[in-house]
């Protein structure tokens, strides 16, 4: 019985440590985004936090995500003439 209680306490502690780490990462990301202002980057508008849900709000970009462009899933908009 004592082992089960000890295991339960350990799992609770590790979950708490993980939650604190995730919260710290989110806070750091929000702070970094709030300080960056560049023509070629999406604008950061803010964030929402409700219980364990966290959302970062940025400007909408209609021509695909950075990941899609990096993976080559988006067609290039610039067509070079053949020589």
Tell the residue number behind the tokens 């899933």, with chain if given: 73
Tell me the Cα Rg of the chain. Answer: 21
pLDDT the model gives residue 44 = 92
Give the mean pLDDT of the chain.
Answer: 83
What residue ranges do the domains of the chain occupy?
2-64
* Per-residue pLDDT tens digits for 17-30: 888 999 899 999 99
Q: Return the CATH class of domain 2-64.
A: alpha beta
Q: What are phi and psi of 56, to 5 degrees?
A: -100, 130
Cβ pair 57, 46 in contact under 8 A: yes
Higher pLDDT, 67 or 35: 35
pLDDT in tens, 36-76: 888 878 889 999 988 888 999 988 877 777 778 778 776 65
């Amino acid at each position: 019985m004592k082992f089960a209680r000890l295991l339960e306490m350990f799992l609770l502690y590790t979950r708490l440590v993980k939650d604190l780490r995730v919260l710290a990462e989110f806070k750091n990301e929000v702070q970094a985004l709030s300080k960056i202002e560049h023509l070629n980057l999406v604008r950061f508008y803010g964030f929402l936090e409700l219980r364990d849900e966290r959302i970062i709000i940025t400007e909408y970009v209609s021509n695909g995500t950075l990941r899609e462009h990096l993976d080559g899933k988006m067609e290039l908009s610039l067509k070079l003439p053949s020589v």
